[in-house]
Structure formats: structure tokens, C-alpha cells
Structure 1
Amino acid sequence: MFGFRQIHRQIFKELAVSFLLCLGALLGLILIGRMLQLKELFLSQNLGLVEIVELFVYLTPFFLLLLLPISCMLAVFLTFLRMSTDNELLALKAGGVSLNQLLAAPLLFCALVTLGNVGVSFWGVSWGMDNFKATVLEHASSRTKLVLQPGVFNKEFPGLTLFAQQVEPGGANLGNVFVRDETKPSVPATIVAPRGKVATDTEQGQIIFLLNDGHIYRQSDGKLDVLGFDSYAVRLDLTRLMGGFRLGSDRPKEMSLNKLRELENDPATAELWDGVFLKKLKVEIQKRYALPAACMVLGMFALPFAFSFQGLKQHLGLVLALGCFLVYYTMLSIGFSLGETDTLDPRIGLWIPNALFAFMAVAGINMAGKERFPHIFERLSHIRFRRKAASTC
């Protein structure tokens, strides 16, 4: 019993280390890509390192939903591929330890990763995105009020030139305001108003310059149009700085599972976007269940899969495992598309990949336990050797 505990402890330790390395590498690559997409936000808002790290912490759950299954699969595959290649499994088998007796550690590991992804799926994604949007708007609002200096032309924001002769602390009130709005290049406008203030629209993710009792000047086709107004809002949509992230109303993939369920059961949801929104909701709900389950399914699939490629170098095994995940994700993406177009019920389309890989996992573990699983890499090496010998003769 003590010997088995030691074996399971060592396997679990190696699984955890491989998992953290894979997850850290994949997450790092994605966050670097997002950093390039969000560079305009960082530069325009002059964010420091602490603020950037804070934003990326809030973004992390959004990516973990998909990264946890692939990292779990890679950890199990690489761990047992190494044990198989180094003949550790052969030594254990010679000592009377069967494959079924080694399943406890990977099963526990996959179960823990699955539980972690359940938390990310049900609550983590919405928590992260809510805090991300709120933090960006807070920084943008603070920065806007900070850069507005009396008597200074400000061009911090793309497409807008701002000037105010008087500025109260915090942007509560502006006096003698001039705005050059080129956010719509086809109809640039010059706005002049004696009074104004800065506000934030958290629902739409916008910074708003509210102007009163002014005039709008537009020139087109050699004509100058002048329009007076009592109240006018110049809106700065921060979405353009977000590299694809919208700061307005939540999309289904940014909501918590409870919120998704509430909207699904709301009769008014069926009328939004001519029913398209409801279809997206249903797909997203099944996705929130399917991806956590994928941690267990793909992890168990990787176990016999590693045995079949005994002797394969780990960097080649990594590429092979990523290829298998690509097959899984392609099937999942097809399920997304078919579900959103109402061609196939998402309860079927999004669970077919899990069902197929689960079947292969059970069959593979059963064959490996009976030592009937094909060692593909060894057979390929043997065929190559025979061909080389035949060509020599």
C-alpha cells in the first residue's frame, strides 16, 4: 500500500508540473498576443505595469476556459509518454503493477482540473470580464479628467481634439469648450459650446463629453452647415482601443451561467435579434458544461494515446497531442456553428466531440490494460528499418 502511494504521489507531482508548464506557456503566448492588440489602450491611457498586470489577471479566466482542457491533455500525454519511453511503465509492469492500478493519479488529477474549470466556466469568466471592463472605464475616466487642462488642446483620444478654457477639478464642469470630432471621417464636425462636463456610460463602455447651448459646424460640398443645440453628447467609444473586446452590454460568452439561464428562460429574449441571441445563449450554455467535461475526457484519452507512441521524442509528442486537440476543437467549432444556425441542437453538436473522445479513451484504456494496444511509433520504426535493409541489399 505504501509503495502504491509513493507511485501515485510521484505521478501526480509530475502531472502537476507538466500541467503548470503547459498552462503557463499557452497563457503567456495568448496574453502577449492580446498585449499587442491592446497596445493602443495602454499607450493612450499611459497605464503602468501594475495596471497592465491587473487587467491581464481579469482577462485570464476568459482564456482558461479553453486552455485548461488542452493543458490537462498535454500534461497526461507528456507524463505517460516519458514514463513509457524511459521504460518506467515496463519496470512497474514487471513489478506486478498493472495499468488499471496506475489510473488513480491521472483520474484524480483530471477531476481536480475539471472542478477548477467548472468554477471558471460558471463564475470566473463573468467575474473577470466585469472587473476588466470596470477597470478600463475607471482608468479611461480618470485619465480623461487628468489630461484636460485649461487652455490646452488635447489629442489623447483618436479622432478627437479637445479644448476647454476653464476646467474644474475632476472635469465636473468645463467652460468655453471646443471639440473637433473626426471619429467619422466622412462627416467631420467642429463643436463649440459655452458649457460642458465629462461623464462615463458604463452600459455602453463610453466616455461622454456633454455639451450645452452650443453649435455644430459641418462643411461638405463647399457648404457650411451650422446647427444649434441645447444639449449634445460627444461619445468616445473605447471599444476601438480594445482589440476586439467590447465594453458595452455583455455578450453571452462574457456572462455567468446563472445569467445565461435567466435570459434563456425570459420570454423577451426570443425576440432579440430575431431569435439569434437566444440561439447564441443555448450554444454558450452547453459550451459552459462541455469544456469542463473535456478536461476529464481529453485527459483520459491522452493516457492510452501516450502508450501507442512509446519511444517518440517529447517535442514531437507535443505536436502530435496538439494535433489531436485541434481535431477536437474543430469538431467543437462545427457544433458551435450548427447550433447558432439552428441546424443541430447544441445539446447534441457540442457533446459529440466529448462522446467520441470518451469512447476512444475507454476503448484505449481497455486495450492498453490487456496489452493489446498498438505501439504505432515502434511499428513505424520497424517498417523504416526493413525498408532501409531492403534498399541496402
Structure 2
Amino acid sequence: MKLLQRYILGELLRVFALLLIVLTVLLVFVGVLREAADQGMGAKQILQILPYVVPSMLPFTIPATLLLAVTVVYGRLAGDLEVTAAKAAGVNPLRLLMPAFVLGIVLAFASFGLTNYAIPWAMGNIERIVTQAMEEIFLDLLRSQHTISEPEKGYSITVGDVSPTGVLIDATFRYRNGNHEQVTMRASYAKISFDLENKQALIELKNARGRVPGRDTEMMLDGQVIPFPMDLQLTKPKPRYMTIDSIRKKLHEFESGIVTNKLQRNQEAAMAMLTGDFQHLASEQMKEYAGYTKFANGRRRRFETEIHSRYAMAGSCLFFTFLGGPFAVLQARRQFITSFIMCFLPILLVYYPVMFLMANLGKSGSVDPTWAMWVPNAILAVAATVVLKKVIQH
């Protein structure tokens, strides 16, 4: 019996690995790399982000790939009457399905590890590479067009030339100062560096002269650094790009902020009532207290939903095998691809919509994500129990 289980497990691993490679490569090259190319990234940057894109996609491809592998292997076993022969020999079908269940448990832990550690690590490296690519794009624009203009951000840069080391020659800068006055500065040359963390281009002026409209005096600057925002259009950090430890720290910060905010609001309200300043109760400052509480509660619910959704998504690997294995055995005489479609289509139409619904309800505070995110898996468990009973009985 152990020999048969090892054979089934070996077939599962072989088919799963092959399908996972094919599906991941297809998604990477058709979807992700096309999007990267559309954003102006060159072949060098695309090759640099490729090692980080693949592990970040695995948590989303593993469950469906595992379901396909299970339906292929067990559908073939049942179609060749090996399951019937095993049952005739007194072997419980559960023992035949055990390799799939074990693989589902292992992949559930692996999927959680990838979601909690690989995705935050990969997204951090991808953002770093994209930011570095923006440095090259920034300088290439100045070399080719000799100007960068961002009216919405209130600045423009015009240069005569850009040296290979990034020095701007015969440069003119127009920007708004702290008083929102339009300043025009001309420098014989300027050194440029990049603050990748704050997404800024830092320009150090050398021998610069300039004027502010409405003033007669001329300014002379030498060595002053002026920050210019880079148009990165990068995604702001989202909960799914953070580890659970980082999310819990943020949760603690928001919970502490809510308590502190409530205490300050109550103190000011009490003081206003004691002094008879009832207008202060409807002031902008009191509205800001209420606004922060609403914002912090929203972020807290979002973080809590993200934590429980990771556990539920990882657990889906096990529940997919609970349903896919017995279903493939029942559909023995059908083609494996037909069995997969018949099994995956209800999952696509029921499981994922319910999962997204529970996630949205959890973020809005309508339901508790502690149990709500497990509702889709519970639906799979009920369906799998019904199918498994039929396999054992017949």
C-alpha cells in the first residue's frame, strides 16, 4: 500500500511541477513583462525584476495548479480502473487520496510562507529596481530633450547638456519656493543625485544666479540643494506587500493613535463645556479628531482582513485537494480536462466571488474577518464532504 501511495505522490509532484512552471511562465511573459515594457522599462530592468516577479506570483498560481494536477492524476487512475481494483482488494479510497491531502497541507504552509515573506521581499526589490530605472529615464530625458517640465508640480528644468557623470551643464531651473513664489535660477553647472527613499532628484547648484518676480534684488546661490520630485507613479505600500509582523506593528500604532485621539478629543470637549465655548465643539479641530478616528478604524479593519485572508488563502490548497481528488475519481470516464473544468468552474463562480465579498465586508467592518475569510473554504469543505461520501460508498 505504501508503494502505491508513493507512486501517486510521485505522479502528483511531477504533474504539479510541470503545470506550475508552464502556468507561471505564461503569466509572467504575457502579463507582467508586457506591463513592464508598457511603462518604459528596458530589457535590462525587466531581466532584473524577473527573479522577484516569479516568487511573488506563486501564491496565486499554486492552488489552481494543484487542483489541475490532482484532477489529472486521480482522473487517470480512476479511468484506468486502478481505483476500482484497489477498492476490490479492500483498500479504503481515503488511503489513495492521502498523498493529495498531504501535498495540500505542505503547499498550504509553503503558500503562506511565500505570501508573508516572499511577496514583501520581492516587491521591495522590484520598487528599488524600478526607482533606479527612473534615474536613467530622468537623465536620458534631459540628454535627449534638454528639458523636463512638470507644471502640476510647479517646476521645470532646462539644460544645455548632461555629462556622463550626471552633471547638468548650463542649467535653468524654475520652481516654487516655500512662499509659493516662482523662482528662476541659472547655474553654470549643477550636480544631480537621487534620493530613492523619498523619490526625489536632489540638485546642487553651483555659481547660480536668479530672481523672484516682484523683487529687485538678485539671488546668488552656491552649494544649495534643491529637491525636485520624480514622477515615479509607484504604488504606495499596501497591506499585501507587508509581512504580518509589520502589519501587527501598524495595527498597534493605529490602536494607540485611536486611544490618544479619543483622550485629546474628550479633554478639549470637556474644557470647551467648562468655559462655555460651545462653538469649539463644532470646530474644524474637533472634526479632525473624528476624521482621524474614522481613518484609523478603516486602516485597522483593512489590516485585520489582510492577516486572516492570508491564512485562508493558504488553506485553500488543502480544501482544493479535498474537492478535486474525490471529484476526479467520480468522473473517471471523462477526459481529465473536462473533470478539471467541471470542478474549477463552480470554484471560479462561487469560491472567488465569495472570497472577494467577505474581504470587502471585512474591510468595511460589516463582518468579523476572523471567521468571514474562512467562509469560502467552508463551502469547499461541505462540497468535498458530499463528493467524498459518494466515492467511499460507490
Q: TM-score, normalised on structure 1?
A: 0.74
Counterpart residue identity of residue 345, structure 1: D
Mapped contact 1:141–1:207 kept (Cα < 8 A): no
Correspondence for 1:343: 366
Alpha-carbon separation, structure 2, partners of 1:65 and 1:296: 13
* Displacement after TM superposition at 1:214 (Å): 6.9
- Say yes or no: does 1:46 pair with 2:42: yes
Mapped contact 2:328–2:336 kept (Cα < 8 A): no
* Displacement after TM superposition at 1:169 (Å): 5.1
- Say yes or no: does 1:331 pair with 2:354: yes
Mapped contact 2:146–2:161 kept (Cα < 8 A): no
Correspondence for 1:264: 251
Correspondence for 1:65: 59
Correspondence for 1:28: 25
- Post-superposition Cα deviations, 1:157-180, rounded to whole Å, max 9, x if no partner, equal 999996534645532x43322479
Paired residues in the alignment total 338
- Post-superposition Cα deviations, 1:277-311, rounded to whole Å, max 9, x if no partner, equal 22211111111111111111111121222223232
Counterpart residue identity of residue 145, structure 2: F
Deviates more, 1:327-336 or 1:191-200: 191-200
- Say yes or no: does 1:210 pair with 2:203: yes
Alpha-carbon separation, structure 2, partners of 1:175 and 1:325: 61
Alpha-carbon separation, structure 2, partners of 1:93 and 1:46: 58
Deviates more, 1:314-323 or 1:346-355: 314-323
Correspondence for 2:304: 282
CA, structure 1 residues 334+45, in 2 after alignment: closer, same or farther (shift >3 Å)?
closer
Alpha-carbon separation, structure 2, partners of 1:265 and 1:168: 49
Counterpart residue identity of residue 300, structure 1: F
- Say yes or no: does 1:170 pair with 2:165: yes
- Say yes or no: does 1:153 pair with 2:148: no
1:132-151 correspondence to structure 2 within 5 Å: 132-142=126-136, 144-145=138-139, 149=143
- Post-superposition Cα deviations, 1:120-171, rounded to whole Å, max 9, x if no partner, equal 122111111111111222333356457765xx63579999996534645532
Mapped contact 2:191–2:204 kept (Cα < 8 A): yes
Give unmatched runs, 5+ long, in structure 1.
182-188, 219-227, 240-244, 372-393
Alpha-carbon separation, structure 2, partners of 1:65 and 1:217: 55
User: Which SS does the other structure have where 1:339 is aligned?
Assistant: helix
- Say yes or no: does 1:8 pair with 2:1: no
Which structure: larger Rg? 2
Alpha-carbon separation, structure 1, partners of 2:210 and 2:384: 70
- Post-superposition Cα deviations, 1:318-350, rounded to whole Å, max 9, x if no partner, equal 322331331211111001110111111111221
Q: TM-score, normalised on structure 2?
A: 0.74
User: Which SS does the other structure have where 1:111 is aligned?
Assistant: helix
1:77-96 correspondence to structure 2 within 5 Å: 77-96=71-90
* Displacement after TM superposition at 1:20 (Å): 2.2
Counterpart residue identity of residue 376, structure 2: P
CA, structure 1 residues 45+34, in 2 after alignment: closer, same or farther (shift >3 Å)?
closer
Counterpart residue identity of residue 67, structure 2: M
Deviates more, 1:79-88 or 1:346-355: 79-88
The match for 1:253 among 228, 233, 240 is 240
CA, structure 1 residues 288+337, in 2 after alignment: closer, same or farther (shift >3 Å)?
same
